[in-house]
Structure 1
């Protein structure tokens, strides 16, 4: 009599357990299948029980992580009048983008530009009432400004200031009626906690700035 062995595969989530089942083959080709022993069944039950406990433990960990991540992820603040969502990420992220909601008219040189339409303000460090970004954490920051004149006959010039000191400026002047012209600039600088950054008109009086196209953005690249 020749004897061959087959296996009964038990699939349970991420585990595969094999239960041997003997199959006796006679010289006449007849097959006689034997049942698994009590020991095999007991072992399989123990394995399934252990796997079930593992699955339940993992499900609890997933549930705990879901609650934790929900607390850290986006929390929606009030919507702006334009319908844009202002969202704040967890405290590891600092950054903002704001534009003019309406045209700014007849601004003298040295006027602080208050960008009152905020698209993004992670960390709430940009103040829409003053136009000032107050550094909440020391680190390397990147800032970007863009400007477009509203009056076709007057240039527009703005500059980034840090604690009252000029850094970089951007200038735009329409070269022809009906043709738009924008100017932009960016800078990278290390800031200390509490440093203040804002944008002012520069060089020219009576400036008219175009809403939407005149913008101010900043982001923390790396904390130090």
Structure 2
């Protein structure tokens, strides 16, 4: 605007024009210098920002390269892990198949072992019987004699339909009688004598009482008492009855007291007794 004013003034007064032109040039130069310094400063700032942007771009590029390499490595590791998992799954399937097969083999082996154990136990019992027989024969050759005798009393649980056991053992030479089961098991072949004495429980509720001597589960003889009833019903007193029998027994034969009966479960009194002994050994 100052330069334009100077041009307008030049028509009226040339000296003023010159002065104004000089002032205009000086002012413009100063303004240009100021503007140049500003531009230089802005350029320097832009250059710095440009370098910063370049550095940031380089850093981003480097980071992208590193991230890509990391991603590639991770993908490689991931594929590797997947392959390992697939391989492990295949191995687990094979192991499960083997385990199933081994379990079946183990079950079959257990069956065989149980069968073998049963066969062994059977063979052991057979050998024990043979051994007892051989010992008997040896004793016979040596002139020895096997002792087998017993007397028991106090029947357990009174009258029952199964083997009658006894709680009081008076004698049990040779331990052939089992008081817990009431069974006499023949230890050596021979002639045996057995007897039972039945005592009816003293009660007006007991009309009769009886028991049988069994050999290997079969009734052979029976002791039975049924006294005449009184005016008030069953005879109140105690009555006894006995029976005996000889058996030719072999090793392992079993003699028991069974099929005891009465009007009440306790019809057989505690004085009831059972005895037996080896009369003559057979070689």
User: TM-score, normalized by length of structure 1?
Assistant: 0.53
Q: Which position in structure 2 is the counterpart of 1:217?
A: 275
Long gaps (5+) in structure 1:
1-89
CA distance in structure 1 between the partners assigned to 2:210 and 2:268 by the alignment: 9
CA distance in structure 1 between the partners assigned to 2:175 and 2:237 by the alignment: 36
CA drift at 1:154 = 2.6
CA distance in structure 2 between the partners assigned to 1:169 and 1:93 by the alignment: 26
Q: Which position in structure 2 is the counterpart of 1:125?
A: 176
Long gaps (5+) in structure 2:
1-143
CA drift at 1:191 = 0.2
Q: Which position in structure 2 is the counterpart of 1:155?
A: 208
Higher helix share: 2
For residue 144 of structure 1, the aligned residue among 195, 202, 208 is 195
For residue 94 of structure 1, the aligned residue among 141, 144, 148 is 148
Whether 2:237 is the aligned partner of 1:179: answer yes
The structure that has the greater radius of gyration is 2
Q: Which position in structure 1 is the counterpart of 2:257?
A: 199
1:209 match: secondary structure: coil
CA drift at 1:101 = 5.9
CA distance in structure 1 between the partners assigned to 2:152 and 2:268 by the alignment: 14
CA distance in structure 1 between the partners assigned to 2:165 and 2:197 by the alignment: 14
Q: CA RMSD in A?
A: 2.2
167-176 or 91-100, which moves further after superposition?
A: 167-176
Deviations 1:10-55 (A, max 9, x none): xxxxxxxxxxxxxxxxxxxxxxxxxxxxxxxxxxxxxxxxxxxxxx
CA drift at 1:92 = 2.3
Cα distance change on mapping 1:155 and 1:178 into 2, 3 Å: closer
CA distance in structure 2 between the partners assigned to 1:163 and 1:111 by the alignment: 13
Cα distance change on mapping 1:167 and 1:113 into 2, 3 Å: same
Cα distance change on mapping 1:123 and 1:91 into 2, 3 Å: farther
2:166 match: secondary structure: coil
CA drift at 1:181 = 0.9
CA distance in structure 2 between the partners assigned to 1:174 and 1:128 by the alignment: 30
Q: Which position in structure 2 is the counterpart of 1:24?
A: none
Deviations 1:80-104 (A, max 9, x none): xxxxxxxxxx9621100000166x4
CA drift at 1:206 = 3.3
Cα distance change on mapping 1:129 and 1:203 into 2, 3 Å: closer
Whether 2:229 is the aligned partner of 1:170: answer no
CA drift at 1:201 = 2.8
138-147 or 203-212, which moves further after superposition?
A: 203-212
CA distance in structure 1 between the partners assigned to 2:146 and 2:194 by the alignment: 18
CA drift at 1:182 = 0.5
Cα distance change on mapping 1:184 and 1:143 into 2, 3 Å: same
